[in-house]
Amino acid sequence: MSSTNNVQATNTASLECTLMSTVKSSWSELTLGEGLVHVEYQTGADGGLDFIKIWLSKVWGEWKLVCELWMRPVWSHVTGVKFGSEFHSTDFERTLELAVGSVDTSMLLPNHRGFLQVFPPTAADPSPTGATVLSQVQPAAA
C-alpha cells in the first residue's frame, strides 16, 4: 500500500470516528432518547468528501432523514447543513460542522461510500467506539 493510500485510509478512519463521536455526543438531542442512527457518507473521485447524511429509525424499517451536510455544491444541493422535515437543531448543526472541519476531508479514500450504524451510548460504553461499521469499503455508484 502506498503512502498516499495509507494517508487516505487513516483520514477515512478518522472521519468515521469523528462522525460516530459526534452522533453519540448528541444522542438525546437527535433521538429524544430512543431509536437507531445510521450515518452515510460519500467521497468523490478526487478523495474529497461529497456529503454526510444522518438517518434515524424509531420504527422497524422506517428511516427518516435527520440532516445532510453537503461539502460541495451540485445542481441539486447547496453546501451546508440541511435538516429533514421533522428535525432541527442549531447546536447539532454547529457541532457537526466543527467536527467535520477538524478532519482532513480533502484526502479520503476515493469513490468510497461509508455506512455507520451508531448504537445508543450506555454507561458501560460511553465512548464513540460502540458504533459498528456496516460497510467499511463499498465503491460509490458511478
The per-residue pLDDT for range 61-93, each reduced to its tens digit, is 999 999 999 998 888 888 999 999 888 889 999
d(CA 72, CA 49) in angstroms, rounded, equals 8
Q: Is residue 13 part of a domain?
A: yes
Q: Evaluate whether residue 82 is within a structural domain.
A: yes
Residues 85-133 pLDDT 10s: 888 889 999 999 998 888 877 788 888 999 999 988 877 655 443 343 3
Residue 142 included in any domain: no
| Overall average pLDDT of the 6-32 stretch | 88
The answer to whether position 38 is within a domain reads yes
Q: Which domain holds residue 44?
A: 3-25+34-137
Q: Is residue 64 domain-resident?
A: yes
Question: Is residue 14 in a domain?
Answer: yes
Going from the C-alpha of 128 to that of each of 6, 18, 61, 134, the distances in angstroms are: 23, 8, 24, 15
- 114 to 43, 93, 122, 124, 138: CA distances (angstroms): 9, 20, 24, 26, 7
Is residue 88 in some structural domain?
A: yes
Residue 12 maps to a domain: yes
For the chain, the domain total comes to: 1
Mean pLDDT of 24-28: 88
Grid coordinates representing 114 are 461509508
